[in-house]
């Protein structure tokens, strides 16, 4: 006589367990019901901002709610990261993640980016380009390495600031090529580029899109791009890896969310972002930024970010880079 009651209890218990899952799925299906913020740790008009606005517009059109880009520049992107870490994990505050975050994870102990930001989706990867002032006699990477070794400590390489992606890209080159160059940090890559053109500094590993017009005008000489494959924007320019096997560095961008954001919401965002990366018009806009799209699952994007954190950790240790 007790068996039916037991069966009824088990049935009710199973239903009770299923209710939270059903609720989460229903919440994800209805998401978003209000505007979503994409926090960007850099100023408006730069590559980070442009990438965020492009994917934000796509998501707004696809999901029927505004994805608003909010710029919170400063502290190498840490101000934006902190804002997202403090936000409710409900999918309504997202972070525009980039390669600088992988460096910061090795510099700032209080900003636990690696464990507190959940990966949502990759967006694009863009190359840096190794520029030299025309006064530098080297025409190839090999010639540059030979020149740098013959003149140790006499070449200055510029960056947009201590610990930035441009900085560590140059330090990786120093480490692998065995050359001694003096790092000159600027407050932003724009003034660094100005001094590069003026000859105050001799070499810079700049974002390709920033340097492209100066390369084409002859104000700068491009020796190589930093990605494994050549860039469609400069097909006649070799990669650094053609001279230093294994060398690779790129500016990459993706989307993250506060830890504990419901997986159903993360998966929904991932699907919609990946759909955008295969859309002909949106993909063409990213190509204009010299970008290669990175469609991937949240788990795979997370593994990629972890590998970048580990890689730049070795460079930070080698160069003795300290947070400002």
Distance spanning both ends of the chain, measured CA to CA: 74
pLDDT in tens, 305-316: 999 999 999 999
* Tokens 């407050």 belong to residue: 187
Average pLDDT over residues 204-220: 93
pLDDT in tens, 89-117: 999 999 999 999 999 999 987 766 777 89
Portion of the chain with pLDDT greater than 90, in percent: 76
This prediction's pTM:
0.85
- Ramachandran category for residue 98: left, alpha or beta (phi over 0 → left; psi -120 to 50 → alpha): beta
pLDDT of 74 reads: 83
Ranking 3-12, 58-67, 193-202, 296-305 by mean pLDDT, the lowest is 3-12
- 175 class by beta-carbon count within 10 Å (0-12 exposed, 13-18 middle, 19+ buried): middle
pLDDT of 10 reads: 47
20 pLDDT band, cuts 50/70/90, is low
274 pLDDT band, cuts 50/70/90, is very high
pLDDT of 161 reads: 87
The residues spanned by each domain of the chain are: 28-125+250-319, 127-242
Cβ-contact 81, 95 below 8 angstroms: yes
pLDDT of 189 reads: 84
Average pLDDT over residues 7-28: 54
Cβ-contact 322, 183 below 8 angstroms: no
Looking at per-residue confidence, does 8 or 323 come out higher? Answer: 323
Q: What distance in Å separates the CA atoms of residue 175 and residue 173, rounded to the nearest whole number?
A: 5
Task: Answer whether 28-125+250-319 and 127-242 agree in fold.
Answer: yes
pLDDT of 157 reads: 96
76 pLDDT band, cuts 50/70/90, is confident
Instruction: Fold for 127-242, please state it.
Output: D-Maltodextrin-Binding Protein; domain 2 (3.40.190)
∠ CA 252-253-256, nearest 5°, is: 135
Cβ-contact 99, 252 below 8 angstroms: yes
Average pLDDT value over all residues in the chain: 90
Cβ-contact 242, 225 below 8 angstroms: no
Looking at per-residue confidence, does 190 or 283 come out higher? Answer: 283
Instruction: Fold for 28-125+250-319, please state it.
Output: D-Maltodextrin-Binding Protein; domain 2 (3.40.190)
């Amino acid at each position: 006589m007790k068996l039916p009651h037991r069966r009824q209890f088990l049935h009710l218990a199973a239903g009770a367990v299923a209710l939270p899952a059903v609720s989460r799925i229903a919440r994800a299906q209805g998401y978003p019901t209000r505007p979503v913020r994409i926090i960007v740790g850099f100023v408006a008009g730069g590559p980070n901002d442009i990438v965020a606005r492009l994917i934000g517009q796509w998501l707004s059109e696809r999901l029927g709610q505004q994805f608003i880009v909010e710029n919170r520049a400063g502290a190498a992107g840490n101000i934006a990261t902190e804002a997202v870490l403090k936000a409710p994990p409900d999918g309504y505050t997202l972070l525009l993640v980039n390669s600088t975050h992988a460096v910061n994870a090795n510099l700032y102990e209080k900003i636990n980016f690696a464990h507190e930001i959940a990966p949502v989706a990759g967006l694009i990867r863009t190359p840096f380009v190794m520029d030299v002032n025309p006064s530098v006699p080297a025409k190839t990477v090999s010639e540059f390495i030979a020149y740098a070794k013959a003149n140790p400590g006499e070449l200055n390489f510029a960056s947009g600031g201590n610990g930035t992606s441009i900085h560590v890209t140059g330090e990786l080159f120093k480490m692998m090529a065995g050359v001694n160059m003096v790092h000159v940090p600027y407050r932003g890559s724009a003034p660094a580029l100005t001094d590069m053109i003026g000859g105050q500094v001799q070499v810079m590993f700049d974002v390709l899109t920033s340097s492209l017009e100066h390369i084409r005008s002859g104000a700068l000489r491009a020796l190589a791009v930093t990605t494994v494959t050549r860039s469609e924007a400069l097909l006649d320019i070799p990669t650094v890896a053609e001279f230093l096997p294994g060398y690779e560095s790129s500016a990459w961008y993706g989307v993250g969310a506060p830890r504990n954001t419901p997986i159903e919401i993360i998966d929904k965002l991932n699907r919609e972002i990946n759909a955008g990366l295969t859309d002909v018009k949106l993909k063409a806009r990213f190509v204009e930024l010299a970008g290669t799209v990175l469609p991937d699952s949240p788990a795979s994007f997370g593994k990629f970010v972890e590998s970048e954190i580990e890689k730049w950790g070795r460079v930070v240790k080698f160069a003795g880079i300290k947070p400002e």
